[in-house]
Amino acid sequence: MNPWAVYALSGVAMFSVGLVGLFSHEHPVKRILASNIAGSGVLLVLVALARREPTGAPDPVPHALVLTGIVVSVSATALGVALARRIARIDATAKAESTGASDPEAGGGSA
């Protein structure tokens, strides 16, 4: 089998693992990890396809696309982590309020 085909199949498998993981996890950080894995799989397929001609330099267009893709995926990760952190903080505040006040309905309004 051609080396590019080996890596392309590997990328396909990574994408499937990531996609199924994305749907079967509830923890936000795990979901971020899963979407990153699925993304890496797609990028691996792209770069493998760029190497199809056995002689000479690989196709630079997919390479540029993948470079853009990696940087965009790190910014998506950063935004996802920030959102997850915000959710965790809101959850923690809600939990503290419901355990702190004896009657959760009476003590509303404090931020």
Partner 1 sequence: MTAALLDACLALCLPLLAWLVLRTESLSQSVVLFVAMGLLSALAWARLDAPDISLVEAAVGTGLTGALLMHTLSWTDERPPDVAARARHRPWAVVAMAALTGMLGWAVLSLPSDDPGLTREVDAHLAESGVEHPVTAVLLNYRGYDTLLEIAVLLVAVLGARAVNPRSERTTPEPSRDPLTGELFRMMTPALLLVAGYLVWVGEHGPGGAFQAGAILAGGGVVALLTTRLGTPRMSSWRVRWALLTGPLLFIGAAVAPLFSGRALLEYREAQAGTVIFVVELALTVSIAMVLWMFFPGMRPARAERSGKEPS
Q: Which 61-100 positions form the footprint of partner 1 (CB under 8 A)?
A: 61-68, 70-79, 81-86, 88-89
Of 32-40, 94-102, 103-111, the window that binds partner 1 (rule: CB under 8 A) is 32-40
User: For partner 1, which is the closer residue by CB, 81 or 101?
Assistant: 81
Q: Does 6 bind partner 1 (CB under 8 A)?
A: yes
Give the rounded distance of the alpha carbon of 49 from its chain centre.
22
Residue with tokens 């994408």: 15
Smallest distance from the beta carbon of 104 to partner 1, in angstroms? Answer: 21
Interaction between residue 35 and partner 1 (CB under 8 A): no
Cα 29 to Cα 48: distance, rounded to the nearest angstrom: 29
**What's the closest the beta carbon of residue 85 comes to partner 1, in angstroms?**
6
Encoded tokens for 104: 């959760």
**Contacts for 52-60 with beta carbons within 8 Å, 24 or more apart?**
52/2, 52/4, 54/2
